[in-house]
Amino acid sequence: MTDFNWNEFYQLAEHLNTNYSFYSQEAVQRTIVSRAYYACFGMAKEVLEHKYKVIVPQNAASHEYVRIEYGKLGENDIKNALNDLRKYRNCCDYNKNVKDLHLFVNLALQKSEEIITNL
C-alpha cells in the first residue's frame, strides 16, 4: 500500500466546486469545505513529521497539536489558516443550517491555497 497523497483531497474539493450535478449543491459545498481542511491538515501533519521530525499524536488531539507546533516554529500564517479552516469545517459538518455557505467554500479554498503554498 502506498502513502495517501493528501493533496488529492484538495484537488477533489476544487473539482467538486465546478462539478456537482449528481448531488445537492449544499451537500457538495459542505464536502468541499471538509475536504479542503483535511487536505491541509494531512499535508501540514506530514511536513511536521518528515521535515521537522515532530511526533504527532495519532488521535483527535492531533488537530490542535499540529496548530500549536506550527506556532512554535513561528509559522503563524499556517497555524492561523489551519484554525480558520477548522472553524469553517466544524460549522459545515455540525450545523444544520449554514448561512452563506458559498462564502465558506470560497474562504476554505483560498485558505487551502495559502497553506499549501506556505508548506
Instruction: Quick: pLDDT tens for 20-48.
Output: 778 899 999 999 999 999 999 999 999 99
Amino acid at 50: H
On whether the CB atoms of residues 41 and 74 are closer than 8 A, the answer is no
Would the pTM count as exceeding 0.75?
Answer: yes
Q: What is the CATH number of the domain that holds 43?
A: 1.20.120
Per-residue CA distances from 66 to 11, 32, 52, 60, 102 (Å): 22, 21, 12, 11, 27
Q: Say if 101 falls within a structural domain.
A: yes
Instruction: Give the per-residue pLDDT at 80.
Output: 98
For the four alpha carbons of 39, 45, 50 and 51, in that order, the dihedral sign comes to positive
Domain carrying residue 37: 7-118
Q: Say if 1 falls within a structural domain.
A: no
| Average pLDDT score, the chain | 95
Domains contained in the chain, number = 1
